[in-house]
Structure 1
Amino acid sequence: MALTKKGEFWYGTTSGDCQAELRSYSVDNGHEAVRFAASKCDCGNRTFALQTDEDAGVAIRTCTECGQDHLMGDSADHLDAAAPEAHECVCENEVFELMSGVAVHEGTHKVRWYYIGCRCVECNLVGVFADWPCEAADAATFLAKV
């Protein structure tokens, strides 16, 4: 597990690399992610296409194995106002392993900020592809839905 910088982007080979990049990004953002969860479909698959609308606070992952769509975190609460757009890696691949992270309000388990980190399964680029302020009541419940 080691991040490698090539040009302006970071690359890694494990979900731990994605989590490390997510943590670094969140620190720079001023709301450090302190709890994390990797996405896994009910079918057991761990690779997904990702659509997000950061303004609405919505993320949808689509399993590359079974095709099931899954609303991430509290996205179901904000879907009516959303216009999600698909993410694509710089290598033009659209399949990722996903790692979610949340910052919480000090002294609580309430979510303050949500981050979605991606690792491209084609070129191994890692990065935070979406983030937004979030006011979910409990970080564990929120992360159980990513």
Structure 2
Amino acid sequence: MVISEVDGGLVGENLEDLAEYARAQGAEGHDVHEVRLCGCASCGGQVFVVHGDLEQHAARRICRGCGAGHFIADSGMYWDDARYGIMVCECDGDGDEEDFNVAVAYSLYTGGAGIRAIAITSRCIGCGRLGYWDGWMIRGGETHLLDLA
């Protein structure tokens, strides 16, 4: 694991660095108990474009390998009302879709009785910059959302 600071931002070299960054960021002010690195359910790819609505707390990742879309956590419930934008990195000033590794950090209730909050983090494929995209509370604590990273 090698996370370094470059030009005021944190940079990681690999997926393990992204997982460590996700743990350190927390989830809506709560400790992270589990981190899931995102992988495409269709092809196993780990590079994505991310669309989301920060007000609706909805995010969808699209696999660069096969084009399959996957909602993150409970985002599918809010997607119809979303006015989404794309996740971009500071290394590319044109605002085009960019490629990221994505990890979802989960804060669990005591004893693992459910999910309290999540945080979506990323690692830019182009420059390695680690970043925080969005996070939200999970009101019902649904543990099946662990499988929807």
Question: Fold conserved (TM > 0.5)?
Answer: yes
Q: 2:62: which partner in 1?
A: 62
Contact 1:110 1:135 in 2 (8 A): no
Gaps of 5+ in 1: none
Task: Identify if the C-alpha distance between structure 1 residues 108 and 143 changes in structure 2 by more than 3 Å, giving closer, same or farther.
Answer: closer
Match of 1:30 in 2: 29
SS in 1 for 2:17: helix
Give identity over the alignment, percent: 24
**Residues of 2 paired with 1:88 and 1:145: CA distance?**
22
Write the letter of the residue equivalent to 2:84: P
- SS of match in other structure, 2:118: strand
CA distance in 2, matches of 1:45, 1:138: 26
- Number of residue pairs the alignment of both structures matches: 144
Query: Alpha-carbon deviation of 1:7?
Result: 2.5
What are the Cα deviations for residues 54-106 of structure 1, in whole angstroms up to 9, with x where unaligned? Answer: 32121100111111111111111222322121010111271001111111223
Q: Call closer, same or farther: CA 1:136–1:72 in 2, change over 3 Å.
A: farther
TM-score (norm 1): 0.89
Shift of 1:33: 1.4
Letter in 1 for 2:38: S
SS in structure 2 opposite 1:17? helix
The more displaced of 129-138 and 41-50 is: 129-138
Give per-residue Cα distances to partners, 1:8-63, cap 9 Å, x unaligned.
21001111111211122117x52111111111111121100001223212110011
Match of 1:50 in 2: 50
Residues 72, 136 of structure 1: CA spacing in aligned structure 2 closer, same or farther, 3 A cutoff? farther
Aligned to 2:15: 15
Divergent runs of 4+, >4 A: none
SS at match of 1:67: coil
Task: Report SS of the residue matched to 1:76.
Answer: helix
Compute the RMSD of aligned alpha carbons: 1.7
2:111 is paired with a residue whose SS is: coil
Comparing 17-26 with 114-123, which one deviates more in the overlay?
17-26
- Corresponding residue number in structure 1 for 2:129: 125
Q: Which amino acid aligns with 1:67?
A: G
Q: Extract unaligned runs of 5+ from structure 2.
A: none
The alpha-carbon deviation at position 110 of structure 1 amounts to 1.6
The question of whether the paired residues in 1 share the 8 Å contact of 2:116 and 2:141 is answered with no
Matched, 1:81 2:81: yes
